[in-house]
């Protein structure tokens, strides 16, 4: 089961290459909303002393692959704001992002705007926070998908290269703040 990271619906113009146009538009939408790691809105860095989970995939290889993991527990605030977190590791240079989405029942929404990744081969924490639109987030079971995406140079627009994907059943707990 694949969870769509965004709910953007575009239609190609007749006679044009639909796949390339749609993919390019989706990448531009991702870039427009991307926030650097440590940003307060949409993407926040994990606590400085938080343990780093080992990502589910193997170590980043010489070709610049990566790994991403999702923490087994996320939080939901009294206002419905969801915080998801995990860890990642990558070696690829350039524009690399960690995106996340939350599924509760048959509803799925992106959480945050994408966290800019630091790709130096070391494990790092990621965290995304957002009040999902039209999703009744409350404590209980949920499913998260985290994706590590490298934007490569394409002929006209950046093209996504998916370095790692992790789907994880989690438990949302009430944020104690």
CA gap 67, 165 in Å, rounded: 8
Contact between 170 and 83 (Cβ < 8 Å): no
Residue 147: what pLDDT? 96
Assigned domain for 85 exists = yes
Assigned domain for 43 exists = yes
Looking at residue 168, which CATH number applies to its domain? 2.60.40.2550
Residue 177: what pLDDT? 64
Question: How many domains in the chain?
Answer: 1
Residue 96: what pLDDT? 94
Three-class secondary structure assignment of the chain: CCCCCCCCCCCCCCCCCHHHHHHHHHHHHHHHHCECCCCCCCECCCCCCCCCCCCCCCCCCCCCCEEEEECCEEEECCCCCEEEEEEEEECCCCEEEEEEEEEECCEEEEEEEEEECCCCCCCEEEEEEECCCCCCCCCEEEEEEEEEEEEECCCCCCEEEEEEEEEEEEEEEECCC
Domain span at 113? 36-174
Among candidates 151, 132, 147, which has minimal Cα distance to 2?
147
The per-residue pLDDT string of the chain (177 residues; one tens digit each, 9 = 90 and over) reads 444 444 333 333 333 333 333 344 344 344 444 433 333 333 333 433 344 444 444 443 334 589 999 999 999 999 999 999 999 999 988 899 999 999 999 999 999 888 899 999 999 999 999 999 888 889 999 999 999 999 988 889 989 999 999 999 999 999 876
Residue 73: what pLDDT? 97
Assigned domain for 23 exists = no
Among candidates 157, 121, 124, which has minimal Cα distance to 43?
124
Assigned domain for 152 exists = yes
The residue with tokens 């980043």 is 60
């Amino acid at each position: 089961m694949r969870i769509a990271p965004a709910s953007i619906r575009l239609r190609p113009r007749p006679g044009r290459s639909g796949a390339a146009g749609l993919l390019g538009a989706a990448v531009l939408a991702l870039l427009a909303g991307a926030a650097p790691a440590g940003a307060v809105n949409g993407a926040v860095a994990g606590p400085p002393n938080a343990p780093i989970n080992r990502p589910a995939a193997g170590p980043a290889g010489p070709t610049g692959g990566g790994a991403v993991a999702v923490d087994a527990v996320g939080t939901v605030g009294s206002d419905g704001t969801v915080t998801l977190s995990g860890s990642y590791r990558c070696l690829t240079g350039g524009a690399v992002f960690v995106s996340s989405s939350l599924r509760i029942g048959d509803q799925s929404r992106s959480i945050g705007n994408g966290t800019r990744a630091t790709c130096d081969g070391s494990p790092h924490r990621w965290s995304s926070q957002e009040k999902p639109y039209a999703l009744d987030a409350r404590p209980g079971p949920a499913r998260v998908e985290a994706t590590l995406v490298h934007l490569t140079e394409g002929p006209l627009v950046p093209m996504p290269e998916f370095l790692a994907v992790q789907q994880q059943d989690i438990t949302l707990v009430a944020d104690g703040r």
